[in-house]
Amino acid sequence: MKYLTRTIWLLSLVSLFTDLASEMLYPVMPLYLRSIGFSVALIGVLEGVAEATAGLSKGYFGQWSDRLGRRLPFVQWGYGLSALSKPMLAVLAAPWWVFLARTLDRLGKGLRTGARDALLSDETTPATKGRVFGFHRSLDTLGAVLGPAVALIWLARRPGDYRQLFLLAFLPGLAAIVVTLLVREKRRAPSPRPVQPFWASFGYWRQAPAAYRQVAGALLVFALFNSSDAFLLLLARQRGLPDATVIGLYIFYNLVYALSAFPAGHLSDRVGPRRMLVGGLLLFGAVYAGAALAHGLWVFGLLFGLYGLYAAATEGVSKAWLSNLCAPADTGAALGTFAGLSSLAALVASTLTGLAWQLLGPAPAFALSALIAAAVAVFLVVSRPPQSSSV
């Protein structure tokens, strides 16, 4: 596997360590925030501000890395800010401080995402992009398996000791920073395009090739109805599964995802990203249609397993496809713009799903998402956008 270069391995390990740190806190953050006086509404505002920060900054910093012709500083500073945010939560419990720490974490994500994905793309050829992005997603998602497991073990031994867990989460974050110092960046020509202002950070969309807009636009329509995974977990809990089982399902989903992402990326290089994405969207539709009626551990276990396969067939594959539809000098802007718009679409999706759940119940909310996923899959089949571009 000579296509897995030193840089690809190092960036994948960085993502593993960072996701391990972040996912250690994922199951406990709502509990911690409630324990220090956050209302459910304030938690929603916190997450909204944090995700909006990440979404708005991904395109901006991605295009900035293109303009400078450098990726690595954005990667190093981005992972550094995210690592720093973890121990900050252990220092002070004031709401303004928690907002600052959470926003700093998401700003770090926005700072690094476009540049990191562009670095990965720079290490590939069009024939190997699927497997490279799939390999990166595999190691990244392995952190999402290990992180909640560590948190469960910690809280089983030290119930309610959240602040020490925040300090513990800094260790893998620190390891990620160290590994970024080992990455070596290839010299590349800067992009001639000017950097758009922060408030116009999605300006690349107007300049992008038509094929990029067609594929990205279809995926963004789907993203508008692809709500947070938390709704699947909430549904499992509402249908009678205990908390520990629900967290176990989340770990199982990430394990299937981690084990499947690399083979899925390899397969996409053989059959083409369109077919993989269509298959993944149909899997999503099946999961959400099934979730509307699901009851019992075994049914939810099957659905969460299929959900892991869906994620493996779409996450890395979509980045690989889009990076083939833009000029190499614009890869940071192209991937950063898509990631940023996807983050903002996810906010809309979760809001719509929450409203539909409250007004109509979970079954119609999940059925609507399934229907949209199937419609986008049909569009990608019928429209047959190109799988690579000559730009």
Contacts of 375 (CB under 8 A, 6+ apart): none
Q: Give the pLDDT of residue 264.
A: 87
Region at 158 (left for phi over 0; alpha for psi -120 to 50; beta for the rest): beta
Q: Stretch 367-374: mean pLDDT, rounded?
A: 93
Q: Give the pLDDT of residue 198.
A: 56
Residues 120 and 237: their CA atoms lie apart, in Å, by 38
257 Cα distance to chain centroid = 12
Contacts of 4 (CB under 8 A, 6+ apart): 132, 135
Alpha carbon dihedral 314, 318, 321, 325, in 10-degree steps, equals 160
State yes or no: pLDDT of 175 exceeds 50. Answer: yes
Q: Stretch 310-328: mean pLDDT, rounded?
A: 86
Q: Which residue carries 């540049």 as its tokens?
A: 115
Kindly report, residue by residue over 302-314, the tens digit of the pLDDT: 999 999 999 989 9
Instruction: Give the number of other CB atoms < 10 A from CB of residue 194.
Output: 9
State yes or no: pLDDT of 280 exceeds 90. Answer: yes
Confidence of residue 388 (pLDDT cuts 50, 70, 90): low
Instruction: Give the number of other CB atoms < 10 A from CB of residue 329.
Output: 18
Instruction: Give ∠ CA 25-346-82 in degrees, rounded to 5.
Output: 35
Q: Is 27 helix (H, G, I), strand (E, B) or coil?
A: coil
State yes or no: pLDDT of 56 exceeds 80. Answer: no
Q: Give the pLDDT of residue 377.
A: 94
The full set of domains in the chain, from first to last, is 6-181+209-383 (1.20.1250.20)
State yes or no: pLDDT of 60 exceeds 90. Answer: no
Q: Give the pLDDT of residue 391.
A: 46
Kindly report, residue by residue over 190-203, the tens digit of the pLDDT: 766 666 665 555 67
Q: Give the pLDDT of residue 35.
A: 74
280 Cα distance to chain centroid = 16
Kindly report, residue by residue over 88-113, the tens digit of the pLDDT: 888 877 777 888 888 888 889 888 88
| Burial bucket for residue 264 (CB in 10 Å: 0-12, 13-18, 19+) | buried
Q: Where are the beta strands (DSSP E) in 31-139?
A: none
Confidence of residue 45 (pLDDT cuts 50, 70, 90): low
Percent of the chain with pLDDT over 70: 91
Confidence of residue 325 (pLDDT cuts 50, 70, 90): confident
- Pick from 59, 142, 112, 86: nearest CA to 330: 59
Q: Give the pLDDT of residue 174.
A: 92
Q: Is 370 helix (H, G, I), strand (E, B) or coil?
A: helix
346 Cα distance to chain centroid = 10
DSSP state letter for 326: S
Q: Stretch 285-290: mean pLDDT, rounded?
A: 93
pTM comes to: 0.78
Residues 61 and 113: their CA atoms lie apart, in Å, by 8
State yes or no: pLDDT of 390 exceeds 70. Answer: no
Q: Where are the alpha helices (DSSP H) in 272-387?
A: 273-291, 297-323, 331-360, 362-383
Cα 335 to Cα 146, 201, 316, 384: the distances in Å are 27, 12, 11, 21
Helix axes 162-180, 129-157, angle to 10 degrees: 150
Q: Stretch 212-238: mean pLDDT, rounded?
A: 85
Q: Stretch 229-255: mean pLDDT, rounded?
A: 81
Q: Stretch 158-184: mean pLDDT, rounded?
A: 87
- Find the farthest-apart pair of alpha carbons in the chain and give their distance in angstroms, rounded: 57
Q: Give the pLDDT of residue 55.
A: 73
Percent of the chain with pLDDT over 90: 21
Hey, what are 165's tokens? 């867990």
Between 3-17, 30-44, 59-73, 377-391, the lowest mean confidence (pLDDT) is in: 30-44
Instruction: Give the number of other CB atoms < 10 A from CB of residue 197.
Output: 9
Do the Cβ atoms of 123 and 11 come closer than 8 Å? Answer: no
Residues 123 and 383: their CA atoms lie apart, in Å, by 30
Average pLDDT, the chain: 83
Residues 312 and 277: their CA atoms lie apart, in Å, by 10
State yes or no: pLDDT of 292 exceeds 90. Answer: no
